[in-house]
Structure 1
Amino acid sequence: MQDKTMTGGQALVRLLANYGVDTVFGIPGVHTLELYRGLPGSGIRHVLTRHEQGAGFMADGYARVSGKPGVCFVITGPGVTNAATAIGQAYADSIPMLVISSVNHLASLGMGWGILHETQDQRSMTAPITAFSAVALSTEDLPELVARAYAVFDSERPRPVHISVPLDVLAAPIERDWSNDVVRGAGRGLPAADVLDQAAAKLASAKRPMIIAGGGALAAGAALQRLSTQLAAPFFTSVAGKGLLPMGDPLNAGSTLCVEPGWQLISEADVVLAVGTEMADTDYWRERLPINGELLRVDIDPRKLNDVYPCAVALQGDADQTARALLARLPTTPRPPEAAREKVAALLQAVKRGHGPLQSMHRAILDRIEAELPANAFISSDMTQLAYTGNYAYRSRAPRSWLHPTGYGTLGYGLPAGIGAKFGAPQRPGLVLVGDGGFLYTAQELATAVEELDSPLVVLLWNNDALGQIRDDMLSLDIEPIGVLPRNPDFALLAQAFGCTVNQPKNLDELQTDLRNGFKRNGVTLIELKHAYAC
């Protein structure tokens, strides 16, 4: 029998549960009470964050590790604007995220009456950083809007969606029970057969083919490894695609397209197959890669097929299906791999030789991390110099194991994204790499971590008592450093106040021991490594 008392908010929560949502991140407020009325008995776990930006970053981390959309609940006005930075980060990095917010009563929208949390046009604030932003004008709009959101997640370039629900729509009784109306997207499909034939012919005749794969190719690892082997093609990834090839694969060139040796090698290719990467300057640390050969692009987003890099063949479709279709069209006998393997080995050696003093220090820390990181662990990193070196120098064991705010480049991402990732993959130990500046953006989320987590999360705080990258940039441009040497708190006392276990290693041997112990401990460990002790 239909539940006559179910409100729009309650039915919306039930609908989300039926779409497979198991976790939402948020902070309850007076404008979201009807959503919270629906949570008990829904099977959805609510994670209380300490700031709406943290809720957004946690939803992002959850999505990156699990492959499922991350979901957060935020209030009207300030909740939306607080979460906007996290929404922008997810948009830039093509992360599926569903943001459900309240908004003021229908009659008040755009009226400027000065009521609580009022904005002129809440939808327009998130429209530029979402796949779409919409307002539910009735309870009947809600199942349609959620279905549209999942069509984006399933069938298009996955990006955030924001649905605003007016207070009277949240509280209104539903006219029919639509909480079971689940509609999933049709999938991403294949390029046309003649386009696949063209691309396969160019790959088959190439003398020096190479592959670049990004975050849009995370489900295509097996097929892309076979393509790389079949073609004897060096295999690069963007930061978002780290781990797509096994670490020991001799054709795995890693994420080295952001340093000079990588640029030099890709310039030698006569055909480049780019799969699921927008090839942005934030991926490769230069405005344009020196691609001198023909470019074949595989992407679900048609706008990426001929933007900064016009391509010889544009293949719009799913990365995994397209890679398999190309394999089926190639000769079955693999090419001799020796020359390509030698090129990759020389590249990796050149990267190591090119490390300056700072990068060598980072490499020593990353080596200790690699020695102790459990095989199934993930790393969530912030915008900090240690992570910048790790982006290209640290070799991930598997996809969805290195989370970094590449495109938007926001500080404060690492800790809450790592917490969210723990909910997306509870069985996986987590490591957060964060600098002192970025840590203070979202340090309050340690409260959520300590309250909610009962498995290992290690926070490695790289403390150089500076906004180090900006200081170095100022000095390199002959600008007097201003505003880059803040007075930091006592991080050990701060973490202890939140309930963390704290270590302050005095050398790299102690760091390695502390990492080992942290990954054995169920709960949150903060390791503060001072710059001076890593020298």
Structure 2
Amino acid sequence: MTHETRASSSRHVSCAEALVRLLRDRYAVDTVFGIPGVHTVPLYRGLEAGGLRHVTPRHEQGAGFIADGYARASGKPGVCFIITGPGMTNIATAMGQALADSVPMLVISSVNRRDTLGRGQGRLHELPSQQNVLAGVSRFSHTLLDPSALPEVLARAFAVFQSARPGPVHIEIPIDLFEAPITLPEPTSPARLYRPAAHPEGIALAAEWLRQAQAPLVLLGGGCAEASKAARTLVERLDAPTVTTINAKGVLGRGHPLDLGANATWPEVRALAREADVILAVGTELGETDYDVVFDDGFTLTGRVIRIDLEAEQLVRNQATALGLVSDAQAALEALVTHFPAPLSRQGAARVRAIHEALALPTRPDMAPFVPLYTALDKALPEAILVGDSTAPVYAGNHLVERAAPRRYFNASTGYGTLGYGLPAALGAQLAAPGIPVVALVGDGGAMFTLSELATAVDEGLPVVVVLWNNSGYEEIRRYMDAHGVARVGVDPTPPDFQRLADGFGLASHRVGSPVALDLALSNVSRTSPTLIEIDAERWQAAVG
């Protein structure tokens, strides 16, 4: 056999093998998340030969959340291999969270044979239309009907991740196509794709408005995670108070004098927003889970709003836009900076300092109990990535926490607002950033949604610190029922003995009830395996007064 013949035959592979090779060689994917099933076994033959790391969660929702955390911490798409039918409905919730927060995720699934699709024959894992179910939680959902189209469909998916507003992409492959032969294309690098840049005329007009403004305000969202330097330079040149949303924490660094944090829901910041004559909003939806967490539609902008976003439709949602620019955040911010060669002087830092003093967040009754928690975490693990569920410490942390860099704080209280996110997403963050400590902040109620992923953490040797706030049920909903005169029903589920559960999973655990005990527990966390630290909420609140 000649060299040319051998090279040609090596490019004739099954569709499943081609998928793995393309992910690895063309798109630099090195890790996939999934649970094998009878419909996806051929994928695993390709996976073994492909040399990709496979992480097995205990539930497909966990797989999606792990992929989400991996993507948020790394900026690269998380990739999942998921079984037909129930596997896909299980992961749909995680895809919904990723869609709401613009997180890149590639979900590869099986689907029933082509000749049975839509026929309602009661086949194993059959849905009337799996694609229709997943289309609503993805940027696009595609059924592969011709194996030769696989390279093109993957290219479309990564084009979304690299040059458009990211989110989940779903590709389903009928089980009769996994073994179908395909000729791999010649080895090439993926297309070099660039995100759109703002029109120079629009940038010049935005700069003119910002220069003339008497009371400018900047709003930075999660779309600025890769534009930290440019964002910091621009707000300093503008000397403008700046709101950084939950997903933009760290974009300006820790303790920046112009950073108002994610505090747009408080009256003092809302007043500043109403009084602003020019508002620059970059990479932010202006959605209620960032600006209106009391859900009263009280965050209003009356000045001229300049919006910069990757998606044209987003430019006209939620607030009235005077000037909209479809652009990558970094490209637009860098272009704006050129119009301000020297810093302006508007007393921005003094205004921000006055607002922080008026807010006095660490002394507020709903914040004060959690100040010692974050003080302890900052002392023991100052560079940690903090990944949260929907739980009281996280709600407070959204206002209290500062990070030195972006991608170091994210949680499920934004966007879709799922429970059970924190633990598996923290595992994904640890896989993406093995050299950085990761802390999962969860409540006892939400933890029960995905508690089984503690086994994944042990299997993979992930030294995630799981801080579990145990207030015996759903405290937020208890308060909500009380406030609305509704009898408490369904909000007091009995929590298990988490210490015994931790022992059963094979990980170290501590139960603490005071900041002193938390300091001690954090000083003893493992650097090679997970640790569970359970905080008794009642004892903690008594200890901190």
User: TM-score scaled to structure 1, two decimals?
Assistant: 0.96
Per the alignment, residue 429 of structure 2 pairs with 421
Unaligned runs of 5+ residues in structure 2 are 1-6
Q: Closer, same or farther in 2 for the Cα pair 1:49/1:354, shift >3 Å?
A: closer
Per the alignment, residue 188 of structure 1 pairs with 195
Q: Closer, same or farther in 2 for the Cα pair 1:104/1:353, shift >3 Å?
A: closer
Is 1:283 aligned with 2:293? no
Tell me the secondary structure at the aligned position of residue 433 of structure 1.
strand
User: In the aligned structure 1, how far is the partner of 2:188 from the partner of 2:146?
Assistant: 16
Per the alignment, residue 168 of structure 2 pairs with 160
Q: Closer, same or farther in 2 for the Cα pair 1:181/1:135, shift >3 Å?
A: farther
Q: What letter matches 2:345 in structure 1? A: P
Q: What letter matches 1:530 in structure 2? A: D
Q: Closer, same or farther in 2 for the Cα pair 1:354/1:270, shift >3 Å?
A: farther
Q: Deviations over 1:378-429 (max 9, x none)?
A: 0110001110110111112210001212100000000000001111111111
Q: Closer, same or farther in 2 for the Cα pair 1:180/1:36, shift >3 Å?
A: farther
Per the alignment, residue 341 of structure 1 pairs with 349
Tell me the secondary structure at the aligned position of residue 33 of structure 2.
strand
User: In the aligned structure 2, how far is the partner of 1:309 from the partner of 1:31?
Assistant: 46
Is 1:446 aligned with 2:482? no
Per the alignment, residue 26 of structure 1 pairs with 34
User: In the aligned structure 2, how far is the partner of 1:4 from the partner of 1:397?
Assistant: 47
User: In the aligned structure 1, how far is the partner of 2:200 from the partner of 2:12?
Assistant: 53
Unaligned runs of 5+ residues in structure 1 are none
Select which of 520, 526, 539 maps to 1:533: 539
Q: Deviations over 1:25-84 (max 9, x none)?
A: 000111011110111242310001100000000000000000000001000001100000
Question: Which piece of structure 1 moves more, 442-451 or 238-247?
Answer: 238-247
Q: Closer, same or farther in 2 for the Cα pair 1:239/1:216, shift >3 Å?
A: same
Question: Which piece of structure 1 moves more, 250-259 or 353-362?
Answer: 353-362
User: Deviation of residue 453 (structure 1)?
Assistant: 2.2
Superposed, which structure 2 residues align to 1:57-72 within 5 Å? 57-72=65-80
Cα pair 2:207 2:336 within 8 Å, conserved = yes
Per the alignment, residue 511 of structure 2 pairs with 504
Q: What letter matches 2:313 in structure 1? A: R
User: In the aligned structure 2, how far is the partner of 1:83 from the partner of 1:344?
Assistant: 42
Cα pair 1:147 1:182 within 8 Å, conserved = no
Per the alignment, residue 359 of structure 1 pairs with 367
Q: Deviations over 1:353-375 (max 9, x none)?
A: 58543321122322222222232
User: In the aligned structure 1, how far is the partner of 2:282 from the partner of 2:411?
Assistant: 19
User: In the aligned structure 2, how far is the partner of 1:356 from the partner of 1:87?
Assistant: 35
Tell me the secondary structure at the aligned position of residue 418 of structure 2.
coil
User: Deviation of residue 259 (structure 1)?
Assistant: 2.4
User: In the aligned structure 1, how far is the partner of 2:352 from the partner of 2:327?
Assistant: 29
Is 1:385 aligned with 2:392? yes
Per the alignment, residue 296 of structure 1 pairs with 306
User: Deviation of residue 250 (structure 1)?
Assistant: 0.9
User: Deviation of residue 187 (structure 1)?
Assistant: 1.6
Select which of 312, 317, 335 maps to 1:307: 317
Cα pair 2:140 2:170 within 8 Å, conserved = yes
User: Deviation of residue 533 (structure 1)?
Assistant: 2.0
Per the alignment, residue 373 of structure 1 pairs with 381
User: Deviation of residue 502 (structure 1)?
Assistant: 0.4
User: In the aligned structure 2, how far is the partner of 1:235 from the partner of 1:516?
Assistant: 35
Q: What letter matches 1:74 in structure 2? A: I
Question: Which piece of structure 1 moves more, 3-12 or 235-244?
Answer: 3-12
User: Deviation of residue 104 (structure 1)?
Assistant: 0.5
Cα pair 1:465 1:488 within 8 Å, conserved = yes
Q: Deviations over 1:178-205 (max 9, x none)?
A: 3846533622121111111110100111
Tell me the secondary structure at the aligned position of residue 117 of structure 1.
coil
User: TM-score scaled to structure 2, two decimals?
Assistant: 0.94
Cα pair 2:12 2:184 within 8 Å, conserved = no
Please tell me the root mean square deviation across aligned C-alpha atoms, in Å.
Answer: 1.5
User: Deviation of residue 288 (structure 1)?
Assistant: 5.2
Question: Which piece of structure 1 moves more, 240-249 or 355-364?
Answer: 355-364
Per the alignment, residue 208 of structure 1 pairs with 215
User: Deviation of residue 133 (structure 1)?
Assistant: 0.2
Superposed, which structure 2 residues align to 1:249-288 within 5 Å? 249-284=256-291, 285=293, 286=295, 287=297
Per the alignment, residue 3 of structure 2 pairs with none
Tell me the secondary structure at the aligned position of residue 438 of structure 1.
helix
User: In the aligned structure 1, how far is the partner of 2:136 from the partner of 2:252?
Assistant: 34
Is 1:75 aligned with 2:83? yes
Per the alignment, residue 49 of structure 1 pairs with 57
Is 1:138 aligned with 2:156? no
Q: What letter matches 1:133 in structure 2? A: S
Per the alignment, residue 339 of structure 2 pairs with 329
Q: What letter matches 2:283 in structure 1? A: G
Q: Closer, same or farther in 2 for the Cα pair 1:6/1:288, shift >3 Å?
A: farther
Is 1:243 aligned with 2:250? yes
- How many equivalent pairs are there? 529
Per the alignment, residue 524 of structure 1 pairs with 530
Per the alignment, residue 459 of structure 1 pairs with 466
Tell me the secondary structure at the aligned position of residue 504 of structure 1.
strand
Q: What letter matches 2:343 in structure 1? A: P
User: Deviation of residue 258 (structure 1)?
Assistant: 2.6
